[in-house]
């Protein structure tokens, strides 16, 4: 199968592209290589992909001429590209253009792919709001520009399924961790602070936040399992993550145990829109995809520490 992966040099997108390639598919990666975080990491991910024979196209989805740059014989599209997180340095315009307009442009391109079997939108638990513990049919209450625009992007994609223009689904991911995690995310930053003797910036009260910290390989298991299930997942929203919860404090302690180092904490003001609890309800994923994440928090962090040491220390 011929598969387009957008956001292919990002954290989860790069892992998904590798897995799809390993399954024997022809994978074309697309990324705009923006500078939201260090390009060193994106270039490192891109190198790993190209060494495996995965083609990478540098292109911004906000450009309206995608059809002139991309082949029209795609069988699947996996749409990871987005303005991520709830960073206060990102404007509403950043979220709007990268998450809504870019998705609309990709949809327009997808409509020209005559043999498209499935458009897979990659959503987020942030769509649910400050608490994300619900099944997929619960009303969404996003509490950040990120969540609002990801909900809009999700609905733009599913609209095409409802119009029977192509098969589509949306996968809402929960607190993904592991090798290649972005530098501003919790575990990469914790590991860097521990190894460099720096204080970790802890948002006030966030040590008590609960998260479904899910290892990236477990997430990718669920993502790639939609292949061959186009009719079954068409029009569906599906949660992917672990049902096991840990507090941020437990996450900090896991890094400390693995590195045998005490991490200094610098408590900073609360971050608006930050979720206080995520626990993946994966009943639908189990039923439709036979989804069964198994990797423990300690094993996940061990793998991330090893990756960090190999590449940044």
| Segment-wise mean pLDDT, segments of 10 residues, the chain, 313 residues | 98 98 98 90 96 96 94 97 83 96 98 97 97 96 96 98 98 98 94 95 89 97 98 98 97 97 91 86 98 98 97 80
- Alpha carbons 80 and 10: distance in angstroms, whole number: 8
- Alpha carbons 83 and 96: distance in angstroms, whole number: 9
Whether residues 198 and 128 share a domain: the answer is no
Whether residues 136 and 196 share a domain: the answer is no
- What domain range includes position 256? 186-209+244-280+297-312
CB 285 within 8 A of CB 222: yes
Whether residues 67 and 204 share a domain: the answer is no
Q: Is 187 a catalytic residue?
A: no
CB contact set of 93 (below 8 Å; sequence gap of 6+) = none
**Active-site annotation holder among 36, 109, 128, 146:** 146
CB 271 within 8 A of CB 205: no
Within a domain: residue 144? yes
Whether residues 97 and 146 share a domain: the answer is yes
pLDDT of residue 313: 61
The structural domain count of the chain equals: 2
β-sheet bridge partners, residue 215: 177
pLDDT of residue 172: 98
Whether residues 77 and 105 share a domain: the answer is yes
Residue in 171, 165, 69 with CA at minimum distance from that of residue 116: 165
Whether residues 40 and 69 share a domain: the answer is yes
Whether residues 51 and 142 share a domain: the answer is yes
Within a domain: residue 179? no
Q: What is the pTM of this model?
A: 0.95
Whether residues 139 and 85 share a domain: the answer is yes
- Alpha carbons 50 and 56: distance in angstroms, whole number: 7
């Amino acid at each position: 199968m011929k598969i387009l992966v957008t956001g292919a040099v990002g954290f989860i997108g790069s892992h998904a592209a590798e897995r799809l390639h390993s399954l024997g598919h022809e994978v074309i990666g697309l990324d705009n290589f923006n500078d939201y975080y260090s390009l060193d990491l994106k270039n490192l991910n891109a190198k790993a992909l190209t060494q495996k024979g995965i083609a990478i196209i540098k292109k911004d989805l906000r450009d309206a001429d995608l059809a002139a740059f991309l082949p029209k014989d795609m069988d699947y599209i996996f749409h990871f590209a987005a303005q991520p997180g709830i960073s206060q340095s990102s404007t509403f315009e950043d979220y709007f253009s990268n998450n809504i307009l870019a998705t609309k442009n990709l949809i327009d391109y997808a409509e020209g792919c005559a043999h498209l079997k499935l458009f897979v939108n990659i959503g987020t638990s942030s769509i649910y709001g400050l608490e994300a513990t619900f099944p997929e049919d619960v009303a969404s209450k996003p509490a950040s520009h990120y969540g609002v625009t990801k909900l809009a992007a999700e609905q733009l994609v599913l609209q095409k399924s409802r119009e029977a223009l192509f098969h589509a689904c949306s996968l809402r991911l929960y607190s993904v961790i592991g090798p290649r995690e972005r530098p501003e995310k919790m575990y990469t930053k914790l590991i860097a602070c521990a190894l460099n003797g720096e204080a970790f910036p802890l948002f006030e009260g966030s040590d008590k936040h609960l998260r479904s910290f899910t290892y990236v390989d477990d997430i990718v298991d669920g993502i790639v399992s939609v292949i061959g299930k186009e009719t079954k997942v068409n029009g569906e929203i599906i949660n992917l993550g672990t049902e096991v919860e840990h507090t941020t404090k437990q996450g900090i302690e896991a890094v400390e145990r693995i590195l045998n180092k005490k991490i200094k904490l610098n408590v900073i003001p609360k971050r608006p829109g930050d979720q206080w609890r995520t626990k993946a309800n994966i009943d639908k994923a189990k039923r439709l995809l036979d989804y069964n994440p198994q990797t423990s928090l300690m094993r996940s962090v061990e793998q991330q520490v090893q990756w960090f040491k190999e590449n940044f220390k």
